[in-house]
């Protein structure tokens, strides 16, 4: 009887581990994302909403911000976007880089949009940018890469990110209006190590340490459970 109970509990623990492990491993530090110069970004963030990630490097000498925004569209024909709002912390007025899949084997399409209210209008952005591209990653994710010119001496920028609806014949549909979609905005500090939107800022080393400790805690918990099984 004890043997059957032990086997059942072991299988239950294994199922929990299979669910927990992918979640704990999905952090920005585990993503192999490189800049246009094929070097790692200086900092990465696990953004607080929409299971999204931001890798970035700020160079004060030329006021440039290189970013890689990583997220998975909510559907196969969906889109993702990352933006800077030069004037406010809201979504309206954001200057966005928006990407979506273009078919098997083809790189994602990436375009620029001026966001006025709930309207998405493709067009020129209010700031200079270069090295714009998008890549398809494992797990259905898309990475948007760009380098943008920020005001000289700027200590922060207003960032907005989004996971949208469908794309039909190149026409972008609106995003959902659930709380995560409406709260996907934050102040990105360029010279510090925090984001006021609630997402943790991590260097690759710190993020790896955090994941290692989470996994260690899970493993210790499993050992305790297994010890309990053996005792009983």
Domain range list for the chain: 42-189
Identify which has the larger pLDDT, 208 or 154: 154
Mean pLDDT of 56-66: 96
Give the per-residue pLDDT at 118: 65
Condensed to tens digits (0 to 9), the pLDDT of residues 79-129 reads 999 999 999 988 888 999 999 998 777 899 999 998 876 667 788 999 999
Nearest partner of 97 among 138, 75, 66, 140, judged by Cα: 66
CA distance 193 to 215: 24
Backbone angles phi, psi at 30, to 5 degrees: -90, -5
Beta-strand relationship, 119-122 and 109-116: antiparallel
**Confidence class of residue 10 from pLDDT cuts 50, 70 and 90?**
very low
Q: Which residues contact 151 (CB under 8 A, 6 or more apart)?
A: 63
Query: What is the residue-averaged pLDDT of the chain?
Result: 76
Q: What percentage of residues in the chain have a pLDDT greater than 70?
A: 70
Identify which has the larger pLDDT, 82 or 25: 82
Alpha carbon separation from 99 to 6, 31, 34, 106 (Å, rounded): 49, 19, 18, 13
- The CATH classification of domain 42-189, taken from the options 3.30.70.100, 3.40.50.300, 3.40.250.10, 2.60.40.1210: 2.60.40.1210
């Amino acid at each position: 009887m004890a043997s059957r109970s032990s086997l059942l509990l072991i299988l239950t623990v294994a199922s929990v581990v299979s669910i927990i492990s992918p979640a704990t491993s999905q952090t920005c530090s585990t993503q192999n994302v490189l800049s246009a110069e094929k070097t790692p970004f200086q900092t990465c963030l696990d953004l607080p909403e929409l299971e999204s990630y931001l890798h970035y490097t700020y160079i004060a000498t030329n006021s440039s911000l290189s970013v890689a925004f990583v997220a998975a569209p909510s559907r196969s024909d969906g889109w993702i976007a990352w933006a800077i709002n030069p004037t406010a912390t809201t979504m309206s007025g954001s200057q966005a880089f928006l990407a979506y899949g273009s078919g098997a084997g083809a790189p994602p399409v990436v375009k620029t949009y001026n966001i006025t209210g709930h309207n998405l209008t493709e067009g020129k952005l209010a700031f200079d940018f270069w090295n714009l591209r998008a890549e398809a990653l494992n797990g259905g994710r898309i990475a948007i890469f760009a380098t943008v010119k920020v005001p000289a001496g700027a200590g922060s920028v207003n960032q907005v990110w989004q996971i949208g609806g469908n794309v039909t014949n190149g026409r972008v549909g609106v995003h959902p209006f659930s709380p995560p979609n409406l709260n996907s905005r934050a102040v990105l500090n360029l010279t510090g190590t925090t984001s006021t939107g609630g997402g943790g800022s991590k260097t690759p080393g710190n993020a790896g340490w955090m994941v290692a400790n989470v996994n260690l805690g899970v493993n210790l918990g499993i050992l305790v459970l297994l010890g309990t099984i053996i005792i009983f």
